[in-house]
Chains A and B, each alone.
Chain A
Amino acid sequence: MRQLLPALTMCLAAVSAVYGQASAQGYLNLGPNAGLIVSSTPSLTKGGTAFGDFSGVTTLTYYIRTSQVGGSGSIQMKITNDFRPAGGPLAASGHLTYSCTANTPTNGGAATPCTGQATASTTTQTTVTSFGPDARSSLAGDTASVQWSLKNDPAFKAGSYSGTVTFTISAN
């Protein structure tokens, strides 16, 4: 028994040490982070009037956490492949414009969508939404959208055209 007791005591001490290590898990460094999902891909459709512009909506689900002090973030986009085949609309010629909406991040901070009707670019990133400090989306993500408007010029050849837009989200 005398020999056994010290042995049990040592075991208890060891268990205590293990639990002591568990408390160290509180030191978690959560940096700014962001992710983006394109929830729908639009096929633009024409309005009722003859030669009315084509329109459609791309819905985005964003996940973001910006720094509490001085943090910011943004969703930007760029036309990385212009409409093809040739003979139809061209983003490079200013035929594609857009407006934006963005829901406020569920867990705090602010999201500011672009204002007015902006022209999509094939050469530079254009802003869809910007975020302020301490912006935190929900775990399920929050939504933003881009409403497209494409010119319907009689000069366009009849046919089907498609282009690629790349969205970029960042947080700091």
Chain B
Amino acid sequence: MYSTIKKASLGLFFAGAIAFAQVGTTAPTATVSVTVAAEAALVINSNVTLTSVGTNFADYTGNNTFTYFIRTGAASGTGSIVAKVTSDFSPAGGPSVASPVTASDTLKYTATVAAPGTAAAQQTISTASTTSVASFGSDAHSVKAGNSGSTAWVLSNDPLYQTGSYTATVTYTISAS
């Protein structure tokens, strides 16, 4: 009699333990994975107003700064910052990138960028195609807060320009692969 009761109770005890053993463990694991891709972003910190300083008809100059964020591919990655005039000076009668009143009138810039970027040589900006501001090699990384850069502008001061205020838009594009 007692022997039989013991066996019956023991059987139920094990049944209870097995029930939880079948629905998980006490220390399962999960793998957390992430793919970190090449990536880039750019912040233009300020607009720029070009001014003519010094001698008469000295070119208009000004400087604006930007902050870039970049990560290029470790093996064969590259990156670039390019610029293009996406809205020419307006209103009419003043400077123009696409249709200057004198053929030699230009809007030029000289770029400066902190490492790991390499600044381009002085460029004449265009409305038709992009021009280089900076380039990056493989495995290039900015810091989390971004790295700095700037463009120093020089606009021809042609006496043919009508007096007034003129505004143009330059679009910077950063890319990474």
Residues of A in contact with B (beta carbons under 8 Å apart)? 17, 21-22, 24-25, 27-30, 33-38, 41-44, 46, 49-51, 54, 56, 58, 61-63, 80, 83, 87-89, 96, 139, 141, 148, 150, 152-170
For the complex, would chain A's binding face be called helix, strand, loop or mixed by DSSP majority?
Answer: strand
CB pair A24 B8 closer than 8 Å: yes
CB pair A169 B26 closer than 8 Å: yes
Q: Which of B8, B30, B71 has the most CB of A within 10 A?
A: B30
Given contacts A35-B24, A37-B23, contact A42 B38 (CB under 8 A): no
Given contacts A30-B16, A155-B141, contact A62 B24 (CB under 8 A): yes
A interface footprint on B36-53 (CB within 8 Å = 1, 0 otherwise): 111111000000000000
Given contacts A28-B16, A154-B143, contact A58 B32 (CB under 8 A): yes
CB pair A166 B32 closer than 8 Å: no
CB pair B30 A164 closer than 8 Å: yes
Given contacts A29-B13, A30-B16, contact A154 B30 (CB under 8 A): no
Shortest Cβ gap from A169 to chain B (Å): 5
CB pair A36 B28 closer than 8 Å: yes
Can you identify 18 A-B contacts, CB atoms within 8 angstroms? A24-B8, A41-B31, A51-B39, A62-B24, A88-B34, A150-B32, A150-B34, A152-B36, A154-B71, A154-B141, A156-B71, A157-B71, A158-B72, A158-B73, A159-B35, A162-B31, A165-B31, A167-B30
Q: Which chain B positions have C-beta within 8 A of A51?
A: 39, 41, 69
CB pair B139 A154 closer than 8 Å: no
CB pair A38 B20 closer than 8 Å: no
For the complex, would chain B's binding face be called helix, strand, loop or mixed by DSSP majority?
Answer: mixed
Shortest Cβ gap from A104 to chain B (Å): 18
Q: Which chain A positions have C-beta within 8 A of B24?
A: 35-37, 61-63, 141, 169
Seed contacts A38-B29, A58-B32, A161-B36; 19 additional CB < 8 Å A-B pairs: A28-B12, A28-B16, A36-B25, A36-B26, A36-B27, A37-B24, A41-B33, A43-B35, A62-B24, A148-B32, A152-B36, A154-B70, A158-B77, A158-B139, A159-B36, A160-B33, A165-B29, A168-B27, A170-B26
